[in-house]
Amino acid sequence: MSNTLEVGSYWDNDGKYQTEYNEAWKRLIPASGEADDGWPEALRAISRIGYDYYNNGFCNLWQGWEDIDEHGDEVMEYKMDSFYEDLVDYLVSHIPYNMHKELRGFLLDAQGYGNWSDRDVVIHQITDHIMEGIIEDELLETETV
């Protein structure tokens, strides 16, 4: 995957499947708690990760603390919050391996608070992939009586 692909940003309401994304969010994602297993929960997971990055600079995803290294120098240590680790782990079975690997690389590149990365395009690529699954599986189709 290349980070030079031109994709719309769901954060800016300009995603490739923005209309469908908005509808999926209304119909498939509960106001609180987990969504149904599969594509809906995968959409909730990547959206929560993206929200924390764009809105909070990953201040919730990464937990950081000062430590002293073996030379006596102060260093910052980071650990992913378990809530977000669960979201990232959930995605592994819903997106291609290379996409998940790219997500992990992006997360490490943006590790800490406010460490912006030019690799954030992976958030939108994963969202596109999930939306394609939602559309293909007709999860947004309206039942007629």
Summarize pLDDT for 101-137 with one digit per residue, the tens: 999 999 999 998 888 999 999 999 999 999 999 999 9
pLDDT for 65: 85
* Alpha carbon separation from 63 to 28, 57, 77, 108 (Å, rounded): 30, 12, 8, 13
Name every residue whose Cβ is closer than 8 Å to that of residue 107 and which is 6 or more positions away in sequence: 61, 80, 88
pLDDT averaged per 10 residues in sequence order, the chain, 145 residues: 59 94 96 96 98 93 88 89 97 97 96 89 97 96 61
pLDDT for 132: 97
pLDDT for 2: 39
Number of continuous H segments (helices) and E segments (strands) in the chain: 5, 2
pLDDT for 76: 84
If you average pLDDT over every residue of the chain, what do you get? 91
> Distance between CA 23 and CA 64 in Å, rounded?
36
Name every residue whose Cβ is closer than 8 Å to that of residue 43 and which is 6 or more positions away in sequence: 21, 24, 25, 28, 29, 35, 127, 130, 131, 134
pLDDT for 6: 55
